[in-house]
């Protein structure tokens, strides 16, 4: 018998425990009959301004993924979103492919990763020359830049906000995102990309597409789009950016 609310598809989403942006942003994107269900990887709220602290933070997220997946799979979702964005880029294409395969084996369902989902969205628009906004420290920015270059994109510009702790990513206000996107845009940039699932972006990105006249991809919208399309949900959803409305 079908789920009373998720009668079309149930989608599990794994996020860091400090993340307060994924759930509200993704919930407004779902069509009737589709539901999103969160599990949290337990991490600490702590400064990330040293190299050692940042690497320990990344390791803590990696260590907690298995338990979070086991938890969310008890509700029997049809697909899984890996909402730990930095981990999706860490180590390059081969590492991302390996992680995807491991998570799919663990979950027993398909997995949407922020890295591959964003690449798919960019290809849907035919965009190769991109500018990227992240909340990360420089080491994280290196990983994001390297992944996209290896995947065949030209990174024209990248700005890292260097958010000093996990919770403080969610405290970046929409105006700061607007200002950063304006700073990143240039005539040769074919698309703007915002990564970092705890960074508010869906509504600002949709606004940005009207200002810039080009795709602006917010990772939470990209993940919702990728997961729904992967499970056969083809609804076009207006008002939250061109990706969901057109592809």
Please report the pLDDT score of residue 186 as a whole number: 94
Note whether 185 and 214 are same-domain residues.
yes
Q: What share of the chain is helix, strand, coil (3-state, %, to 5)?
A: 45, 20, 35
In this prediction, residue 197 has a pLDDT band, given cuts at 50, 70 and 90, of very high
In this prediction, residue 85 has a pLDDT band, given cuts at 50, 70 and 90, of confident
Please report the pLDDT score of residue 33 as a whole number: 98
For 94-105, the pLDDT digits (tens) are 999 999 999 999
In this prediction, residue 236 has a pLDDT band, given cuts at 50, 70 and 90, of very high
Please report the pLDDT score of residue 245 as a whole number: 98
Please report the pLDDT score of residue 55 as a whole number: 73
Find all residues with CB under 8 Å of 246, minimum gap 6, and list them. Answer: 236
Q: Report the CATH number at residue 205.
A: 3.40.50.12500
Note whether 109 and 122 are same-domain residues.
no
Least confident of 43-52, 135-144, 234-243: 43-52
First-to-last C-alpha distance (Å) of the chain:
30
3-state SS class at 209: helix
Least confident of 57-61, 113-117, 232-236, 238-242: 57-61
Please report the pLDDT score of residue 1 as a whole number: 85
Q: Answer yes or no: is 3 within a domain.
A: no
Note whether 87 and 127 are same-domain residues.
no
Note whether 104 and 201 are same-domain residues.
no
Q: Answer yes or no: is 213 within a domain.
A: yes
Per-residue CA distances from 66 to 22, 131, 157 (Å): 19, 32, 34
Note whether 64 and 129 are same-domain residues.
no
DSSP line for 104-148:
HHHHSSEEEEHHHHHHHHHHHHT--EEEEEE---HHHHHHHHHHH
Note whether 76 and 122 are same-domain residues.
no
For 17-70, the pLDDT digits (tens) are 999 999 999 999 999 999 999 999 988 787 777 777 777 777 777 788 899 999
pLDDT higher than 90, residue 217: yes
Q: Confirm if 24 and 93 have CB atoms less than 8 A apart.
A: no
Structure tokens at 79: 């697909």
Structural domains of the chain, count: 2
37 conformational bin, left if phi > 0, alpha if psi -120 to 50, beta if neither: beta
Q: DSSP assignment, residue 43?
A: -
With vertex at residue 105, the alpha carbon angle to CA 63 and CA 39, rounded to the nearest 5 degrees, is 50
pLDDT, averaged across the chain: 94
Q: Answer yes or no: is 177 within a domain.
A: yes
Exposure string over 32-64, b if 16+ CB within 10 A, otherwise e = eebbbbbbbbebeeeebeeeeebeebbebbeeb
Q: Name the residue among 159, 126, 164, 147 with its Cα closest to residue 243.
A: 126
**Rounded-to-integer distance, Cα 73 and Cα 129, Å:** 37
Note whether 138 and 76 are same-domain residues.
no
What percent of the chain is predicted at pLDDT more than 90?
86
Q: Answer yes or no: is 247 within a domain.
A: no
Range of the domain at 27: 9-114+220-239
Q: Answer yes or no: is 79 within a domain.
A: yes
């Amino acid at each position: 018998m079908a789920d009373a609310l998720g009668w079309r598809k149930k989608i599990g989403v794994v996020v860091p425990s400090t993340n307060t942006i994924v759930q509200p942003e993704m919930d407004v994107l779902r069509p009737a009959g589709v539901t999103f269900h969160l599990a949290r990887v337990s991490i600490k709220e702590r400064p990330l301004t040293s190299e050692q602290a940042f690497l320990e933070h990344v390791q803590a997220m990696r260590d907690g993924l298995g338990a979070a997946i086991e938890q969310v799979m008890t509700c029997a979702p049809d697909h899984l979103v890996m909402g730990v964005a930095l981990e999706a880029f860490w180590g390059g294409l081969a590492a991302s492919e390996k992680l995807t395969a491991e998570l799919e084996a663990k979950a027993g369902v398909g997995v949407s990763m922020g890295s591959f989902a964003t690449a798919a969205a960019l290809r849907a628009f035919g965009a190769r020359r991109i500018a990227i906004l992240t909340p990360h420290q420089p080491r994280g920015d290196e990983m994001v830049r390297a992944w996209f270059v290896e995947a065949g994109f030209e990174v024209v510009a990248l700005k890292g906000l260097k958010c000093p702790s996990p919770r403080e990513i969610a405290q970046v206000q929409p105006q700061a995102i607007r200002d950063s996107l304006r700073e990143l845009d240039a005539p040769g940039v074919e698309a703007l990309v915002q990564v970092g699932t705890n960074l508010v972006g869906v509504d600002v990105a949709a606004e940005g597409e009207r200002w810039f006249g080009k795709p602006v991809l917010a990772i939470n919208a990209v993940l919702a789009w990728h997961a729904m399309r992967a499970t056969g949900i083809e609804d076009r959803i207006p008002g939250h950016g061109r990706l969901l409305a057109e592809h």
